[in-house]
Amino acid sequence: MQTLKDAAVGSTVTVKKLEGDGAAKRRIMDMGITKGVSVYIRKVAPLGDPIEITVRGYELSLRKAEAEKIVVE
């Protein structure tokens, strides 16, 4: 199982499922990150936080803890 945190910079991955529940999952879904959507990893900070991505034409920053909840393929 690969998460968004493990994906390589410059790659495009597809969201397989979202783990967790409550406010953290709601925040991820509010950013437009849902099952089946393509995510492009633009940049990762030297210590891995934040992770900058492009989703549905929007450039977003994710915390490492949030990226661990997004299972990708």
Phi-psi map region of 4: left, alpha, beta (phi>0 left; psi -120 to 50 alpha):
alpha
Domain map (residue ranges) of the chain: 2-72
Residues 61, 31: contact at Cβ < 8 Å? no
User: Could you count the other beta carbons within 10 Å of the beta carbon of residue 48?
Assistant: 11
- CATH code linked to domain 2-72: 2.30.30.90
What pLDDT, in 10s, does the model give residues 7-62? 999 999 999 999 988 888 999 999 999 999 999 999 999 887 899 999 999 999 99
Q: What does pTM read for this prediction?
A: 0.89
- Cα separation, 32 vs 46, in Å, equals 25
